[in-house]
Amino acid sequence: MPQVILLFSGKRKSGKDFITTHLQKLLGDRCEVLKISQPIKSHWAKEKNLNLNELLGDGFYKEQYRLDMINWSEKMRAKDYGYFCKIATDNALEKPIWIVSDIRRKTDIRWFNETYGNLIRNIRIYADDETRDNRGYEFKSGVDDVASECDLDDYNEWDLVIDNSNGKQDIEDQLSSIIRLVANS
Ligand SMILES: Nc1ncnc2c1ncn2[C@@H]1O[C@H](COP(=O)(O)OP(=O)(O)OP(=O)(O)O)[C@@H](O)[C@H]1O
Ligand SMILES: C[C@@](O)(CCOP(=O)(O)O)CC(=O)O
């Protein structure tokens, strides 16, 4: 069992991967990064003979398959909302800190809460529209107006909110606030 599980969420191009990658470097061996989308992307890569590394990266490649991956994964979630969370955690190494970098739905938080109780900390990453646009975000129907992107819009129980808009908090401040949250856990 980890000692603390940091659940990161945020809209497309808010900077979830950017911040969690920096956090991973800072925490080193003490942490493990888990991605709920990993089993989805692995399945998709095998099924469609796609490049898994590109699907896991931050470039345009994965965007071509996002809609299909969302639709397929929703069918799986309809049968078992914790399906992908369970695979991601089953494959995780035994480390004191788990960083889950892609929480998207209330049912993700529910599953972690039911499974790990008070070990979880909810961190929301925010970036304003202009910043997200500059990072390559383009609205897509079926992607940006469905649960994958919107389900946590009205969720309010964050332990920490990070503003990752251009010109706001720098990465050192962002990481310090996360470390304080971990230290107080
Ligand atoms: N604070 C920052 N300073 C500079 N570049 C940033 C910052 N935050 C994010 N970026 C860049 O913006 C792009 C999108 O960030 P990232 O992939 O982390 O977002 P994401 O929330 O994981 O998006 P998605 O959900 O689409 O995967 C990346 O190229 C990343 O390097
Ligand atoms: C299919 C999906 O897992 C893609 C996530 O990709 P990424 O975390 O934005 O790199 C989104 C979802 O599960 O709704």
Ligand in nearest proximity to the CA of 36: 2
Q: For ligand 2, is residue 70 a contact (CB within 6 Å)?
A: yes
pTM for this entry: 0.96
Ligand 1-lining residues (CB < 6 angstroms): 10, 12-18, 58, 135, 164, 171
Q: For ligand 2, is residue 40 a contact (CB within 6 Å)?
A: yes
Task: Tell which atom from ligand 2 comes closest to the C-alpha of 147.
Answer: 14
φ and ψ at 5, to 5 degrees?
Answer: -125, 115
| CATH number for the domain running over 4-183 | 3.40.50.300
Numbers of helices and strands, H then E, in the chain: 9, 5
Cβ–Cβ < 8 Å for 119, 4: yes
**pLDDT tens by residue, the chain, 185 residues:** 899 999 999 999 999 999 999 999 999 999 999 999 999 999 999 999 999 999 999 889 999 999 999 999 999 999 999 999 999 999 888 999 999 999 999 999 999 999 999 999 999 999 999 999 999 999 999 999 999 999 999 999 999 999 999 999 999 999 999 999 999 87
What confidence score (pLDDT) does residue 51 get?
97
What confidence score (pLDDT) does residue 69 get?
96
Pocket test of ligand 1: the residue of 7, 9, 13, 36 to mutate, having most ligand atoms within 8 Å of its CB, is 13
Give how far Cα 143 sits from Cα of 3, 146, 152, Å. 34, 6, 14
Q: What is the number of other CB atoms lying within 10 angstroms of the CB of residue 21?
A: 15
Q: For ligand 2, is residue 27 a contact (CB within 6 Å)?
A: no
Q: For ligand 2, is residue 66 a contact (CB within 6 Å)?
A: yes
Ligand 2 centroid, distance to 25 Cα (angstroms): 23
